[in-house]
């Protein structure tokens, strides 16, 4: 039923399994799993199939899984304890109930140089990851003679194919590293963090909300400066030196005024 038993830790491990199937050392899945075969899935089981050969594109195992997480070249899922839809504290906070000692599923797909579409599904538990009880294909003596030919399979990142430096996708998942959404704030926005939970009910991821801040003060087209009330309060009050007193009326002025008054009466 299954193609291999082991731990698919890196994309290179997956390519070794693909090539072992091509050479006939391992067998690909030829059909969808029956109910009995689905129930027999255990940690370490690896399944490989060709889309055209098996007549299927999607994998069905009869189990309920969390939303996928992209981990390097893999899609990783965690088994849920119920088929019911996840509970939500609110519309933005989904909470999933993971199955105790449940499986972790990894998915890996490629298209070869001959346009062959291959898929790999692997299952493992946390305990097997921690204890290292399952062999990787790259360290399995039975697959030591399998050499992945250059040019047949897609080129992969050397970091991803290096078993020594590649971080296992299952190990990174078990660390419950929460995804942090990075927002690029503009100068006119202010941010305030608000805690929310990801698909893992034991973790909370900060989500940043933004609200407009007060716009900066600018000058108009006439270059008139806008003054605030505090600035106006600081301006000096008028003094006598700024506005000199008007001199009093002289005696000559009085005489001229009286003459005009007499002429007007005539």
Give 140-159 pLDDT, tens digit per residue.
999 999 999 999 998 875 44
Q: Give one word for 101, left, alpha or beta, with left for phi > 0 and alpha for psi -120 to 50.
A: left
Q: What does the pLDDT read at residue 142?
A: 97
Tokens of 248: 């009093």
Q: Helices marked H in the chain — which ranges?
A: 11-23, 35-39, 51-54, 126-131, 158-161, 169-174, 229-233, 251-265
Contact between 161 and 11 under an 8 Å Cβ cutoff? The reply is yes
Per-residue pLDDT of 189-222, as tens digits, reads 222 232 222 333 333 333 221 223 344 444 444 4
Q: Domain residue spans in the chain?
A: 4-174
Contact between 21 and 27 under an 8 Å Cβ cutoff? The reply is yes
> What pTM value is reported for the model?
0.60
């Amino acid at each position: 039923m299954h193609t291999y038993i082991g731990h698919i830790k890196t994309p290179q491990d997956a390519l070794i399994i693909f090539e072992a199937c091509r050479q006939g050392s391992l067998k690909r899945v030829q059909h969808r799993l029956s109910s009995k075969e689905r129930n027999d899935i255990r940690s370490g089981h690896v399944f490989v199939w060709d889309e055209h050969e098996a007549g299927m594109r999607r994998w069905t195992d009869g189990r309920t899984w969390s939303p996928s997480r992209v981990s390097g070249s893999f899609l990783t899922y965690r088994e849920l304890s119920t088929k019911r839809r996840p509970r939500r504290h609110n519309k933005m906070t989904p909470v999933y109930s993971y199955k105790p000692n449940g499986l972790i599923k990894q998915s890996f797909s490629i298209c070869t140089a001959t346009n062959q579409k291959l898929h790999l599904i692997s299952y493992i538990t946390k305990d097997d990851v921690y204890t290292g009880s399952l062999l990787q294909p790259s360290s399995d003596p039975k697959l030591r003679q399998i050499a992945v030919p250059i040019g047949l399979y897609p080129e992969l990142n050397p970091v991803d194919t290096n078993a020594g430096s590649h971080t296992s996708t299952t190990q990174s998942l078990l660390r419950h590293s929460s995804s942090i959404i990075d927002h690029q704030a503009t100068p006119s926005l202010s941010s305030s963090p608000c805690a929310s939970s990801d698909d893992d009910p034991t973790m909370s991821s900060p989500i940043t909300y933004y609200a407009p801040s007060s716009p900066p003060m600018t000058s108009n087209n006439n270059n008139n400066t806008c003054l605030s009330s505090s600035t106006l309060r600081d301006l000096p009050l008028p003094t006598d030196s700024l506005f000199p007193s008007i001199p009093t009326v002289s005696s000559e002025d009085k005489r001229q005024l009286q003459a005009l008054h007499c002429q007007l009466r005539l």
